[in-house]
Amino acid sequence: MEVLKKKDLVKPVQDYIASGRPFLGVCLGLQLLFEGSEESSGVEGLGIIPGTVGGFDPTVLKLPVPHIGWNTLDLQQDSELLARVQGQRVYFVHSYRAKADERNRDWVLAQSTYGEDFIAAVKKGNVMACQFHPEKSGTVGLGIFEAFLDPASASASASGASGASGGSTGGSSHTTGLGKRVIACLDVRSNDQGDLVVTKGDQYDVREKDDTKGVRNLGKPVELAGEYYLQGADEVAFLNITGFRDCPLQDAPMIDVMKATSERVFVPLTVGGGIKAFTDENGKFYSALDVAAAYFRAGADKVSIGSDAVDAVLSLRARGGGQKTPTYQAKALDGSTAIEQISRVYGKQAVVVSIDPKRVWVADPSATKHQVVKVTDGTRGPQGEVYAWWQCTVMGGRETRDLGAVELAMGVEHLGAGEILLNCIDKDGQNSGFDIDLVRAVSDAVSIPVIASSGAGCPQHFAEVFEQTHCAAALAAGIFHRKEVPVMDVKKHMNDQGIPVRI
């Protein structure tokens, strides 16, 4: 609303809507139609729909916020706009929502449920809007745009819709509600010949065991991302692990990868590596926000921050923002970190923090200041230890810091991160399953979604991490790249186990 006012666009938008011409709002485009929002107290909305937008309360819902992922719709009235969506899942990513009441109920086209019912789509006359993102909801979502542009063809398109994969229809499962996400991750770097390739390491070593063969080349990033979309991946993540990430705005190859991928992959895209402030060779300074903005313009939906997040939380704790069991205080924030800057402008849902910890065994919990858990996976330390904590690393796992994974997770949540990508160096490339104890400890400690990563070797590993922890998504790389396990095999196994998932 500040931008609309600054550009003198409030009245033109209101006049356009009043003219009877077709209008379609997406996400904030729905929320702006209301009279205001708790997100910005005192700021008026467009005032088209009665009511005020409120925030999800994680303490009441007992669910992570933001609400991120693929959820089902409960249609409240017939409409060509959503003719293809009934029974399918669509992609949501938001912390605020509008609720139906007697003043606006005649607007409600569809509702969804995330601990409570909220408005998922509205329609009255020429005005239509949806809280979810059609452009990130696969072919089902693209069908919504087609229906908006050509309502007469919507019914015919709906009758012809069928299929399974996320790339073809958006899919559904035998359950309703928010599905658990399966994410395909592509580690991207330049190989010894200077080509940009997808690679995968074992405990972060991406070179072939026969070093004369150089960096493992598992395919081209854009083509692989397209394959995973067609297989039904719920999201695709790119981690830029190449050397030129130190000058990310001059990193034309990676920017081009995002642009090309966003033209063919209609699920959320995350990019990580080099999302930080830097000064180029001409002495010009670029903030982390500048870098993130370039990737968002290229087609990314989220950016992932790694080592800089560790430094940010260590600095926060040094200013009195945390103790052994961190209790972060609002006064400790100063707006200086990349997490704060990007989440303030683009929303917390756009900021993912990637945590790279390794297990540290301890004989007695009182022997360390860090949060310790009793390990339940049957492994033991070198001296038979049963207690451990997970130490954060930086620089691709090459250096450690005196900070635990749980402490870091709680710190970045306070700084404004919307999601955590939780890796595990000990499990990376081992195909032995996720570190359940680690995922459980972190997902229990925060109220933002956690993505489990590192160690997946078979579909059962995905089912186990969802059944035994509160993680919202699970990510894999090598087993998908090497064609050992197709994405849809994972999702079908989850579905068979009764885990809600988009099929």
Residues involved in catalysis: 27, 133, 135, 187, 356
Listed in sequence order, the DSSP H helices in 85-203 are 138-149, 154-160
Give the residue carrying structure tokens 């708790």. 38
Walk across the sheet containing 49-55 and list its strands.
34-37, 49-55, 96-97
Distance CA 334, CA 50 (A): 36
Residues forming a β-bridge with 53:
37
Burial (CB count <10 Å: 0-12, 13-18, 19+), residue 473: buried
| AA letter at 250 | Q
Segment holding 237, helix H or strand E: strand 235-240
Residues for the chain: how many in total?
A: 503
State the Cα–Cα distance between residues 185 and 221, nearest whole angstrom: 10
Separation between Cα atoms, residue 10 and residue 26, nearest integer Å:
17
Tokens (6 digits) for 231: 């297989």
- The whole-angstrom separation of Cα 253 and Cα 245 is 10
Please check whether residue 416 is in contact with residue 351, taking contact to mean a CB–CB distance below 8 angstroms. yes
Half-sphere exposure of residue 86, counting CA atoms within 13 Å on the CB side?
Answer: 12
Beta-carbon contacts of residue 376 (< 8 Å; ≥ 6 apart): 436, 437
Q: Give residues with Cβ within 8 angstroms of 227, minimum separation 6.
A: none
Q: Do residues 186 and 198 lie in contact, with contact meaning Cβ atoms separated by under 8 Å?
A: yes
